[in-house]
Structure 1
Amino acid sequence: MALCNRVRSGISLFNKLGSLGSQRSTLQRSLLAPSVLPLTSRNYANVPGLKEEKVQVPLALYGGSGNYATALYIAAVKAKAVEKVESEILQFAEAVKNSSKFSLFIKDLSVAKDVRVKAIQEICGEAKFSDVTKNFLVVVAENGRLKNIDTISKRFKELAMAYKGEVKATVTTVFPLPPEEEKALKETVQEIIGSGAKVHLEQKIDPSILGGLVLEFSQKVFDMSIKTRALQMERTLREPINISNI
């Protein structure tokens, strides 16, 4: 909570910068090309003079956000700060979502690169972020990818969970599960995957499934929703009747 408050304080500081968001130029707009750069080439987590440490990434993530999350993971592992970086990047993404003014700012690619970087440096300084998180966010700001920070943070969380030996399981229901049912479901999933990993159960609410539940983990889906059962029944009733079998 304290970290989240510091991030909000940093964004409040950004809001006071006023004229920064209005500094634009045609030349800067034409030069801005938000392509994914090889972040690992920045080597911002490396210590000069030391041999490059080979980091094994537990999950293969694809796309621009996956590339950024992977680069951050490698830097965090080298700095032995995966959990700290996870907390910081998630808090930053959450704080950004709660500030409509800053959300508009990071989505506007016509804003000069140095203005974006200055805003991020102010926020990270106020929040007292680690060097890994601060330097990463600066790179993201330079590359015009702050608009993807929510997705990047979620992808990084997947890597951090794998690093900690956790398996994410998602249960979708119409209403929140009572604590005793949530505990029983978590224990069931734990028995299925074994003791080699710890289950992290997340609940999602979706009234459209009508009832029952949908359980997803380890690329498996167990659909026990009333909606799916109703659709299956409807397909069965629509099938033509073979009179010869009656």
Structure 2
Amino acid sequence: MAALCNRVRSGIALSNKLGFLTSHRSSTLVAPLASRNYSTHVPGQKDTKIMVPLAMFGGSGNYASALYIAAVKAKAVEKVDSELHQFVEAVKNSSLVSQFVKDISVAKDVRVKAIEEISREAKFAEVTKNFLVVVAENGRLKNIDTIAKRFGELAMAYKGEVKATVTTVFPLPPEEEKALKETVQEIIGSGAKVSLEQKIDPSILGGLVLEFSQKVFDMSIRTRAQQMERILREPINISNI
């Protein structure tokens, strides 16, 4: 266990030094989306500025961030998170719904009517229903799985939790998983609770890839081999020898 913790700490330091660390940048397109009709603004009531707790990226990040702002105002973050994932599971479990979601040739009014009916039958919160309608209007239902994952990350941050994902070739033994979780907890501090998810990917060859707080610490053998290959391919400058 101690060896794993030391490997993670030294690996993070080495990742920073050699440039293996990737940090996702936030997008600047949240405001236009947040102003759409799935917000819960009450006429005559002063708007409270809502800060998105994590930097989101890409189109899916924009939608997730905008939904987060609306859900916080509606005091329904956990409910929206649950309903969004419920919708995603329904899409995965039904070939008919999945085909409908992916078919961009379906007319906008048909998409919207179907989403409104699904939301009504599922008794989704108003903010969830209105958001799905906007996504349907914009032809982005095909991205709903990614949007739901991004929103889930924001919902965890809202509850004071940080999701960490570790990718390895083989599953970590319980004691090493516990040690890694404690190490990540030390790194992020006591202000948040760590939730650790394991993923298996034989293609990394060995080592591990650790992701949390929108950062990726790649300590895999595959990445180190690629880095070494790039170094060896660089031309040697005789004057510097």
- Structure of higher CA gyration radius: 1
- What do residues 47-90 of structure 1 show as CA deviations (whole Å, max 9, x unaligned)? 23322222122233343222211221111000111111111112
> What displacement does 1:236 show?
8.3
Residue equivalent to 1:179? 174
Q: How does 1:18-167 map to 2 (within 5 A)?
A: 38-42=33-37, 44-167=39-162
What code does the residue aligned with 2:127 have? Answer: V
Q: Can you give the 5+ residue segments of structure 1 that lack an aligned partner in the other structure? A: 1-35, 241-246
2-side partners of 1:43 and 1:122: how far apart? 16
| Structure-2 change in CA distance of 1:51 and 1:239 (3 Å) | closer
- What do residues 134-166 of structure 1 show as CA deviations (whole Å, max 9, x unaligned)? 111112112222111112112212222222222
Q: Is 2:68–2:154's contact at 8 Å kept on the other side of the alignment? A: yes
Name the Cα RMSD after superposition: 2.8
* Pick aligned residue for 2:210 from 215, 218, 242: 215
1-side partners of 2:222 and 2:105: how far apart? 46
Q: Any idea what SS the aligned residue of 2:35 has?
A: helix
2-side partners of 1:220 and 1:121: how far apart? 37
Q: Is 2:34–2:70's contact at 8 Å kept on the other side of the alignment? A: no
What code does the residue aligned with 1:75 have? Answer: A
What code does the residue aligned with 1:204 have? Answer: K
Which deviates the most, 134-143 or 102-111?
A: 102-111
2-side partners of 1:162 and 1:100: how far apart? 33
Q: Is 2:108–2:137's contact at 8 Å kept on the other side of the alignment? A: yes
Residue equivalent to 1:203? 198
Q: Any idea what SS the aligned residue of 1:38 has?
A: helix
| Pairs aligned (count) | 206
Q: Is 2:54–2:213's contact at 8 Å kept on the other side of the alignment? A: no
Q: Sequence identity of aligned pairs in percent?
A: 81
1-side partners of 2:207 and 2:197: how far apart? 16
Give the TM-score taking structure 1 as reference length: 0.72
Residue equivalent to 2:185? 190
> What displacement does 1:177 show?
2.0
| Structure-2 change in CA distance of 1:220 and 1:114 (3 Å) | closer
Which deviates the most, 155-164 or 221-230?
A: 221-230
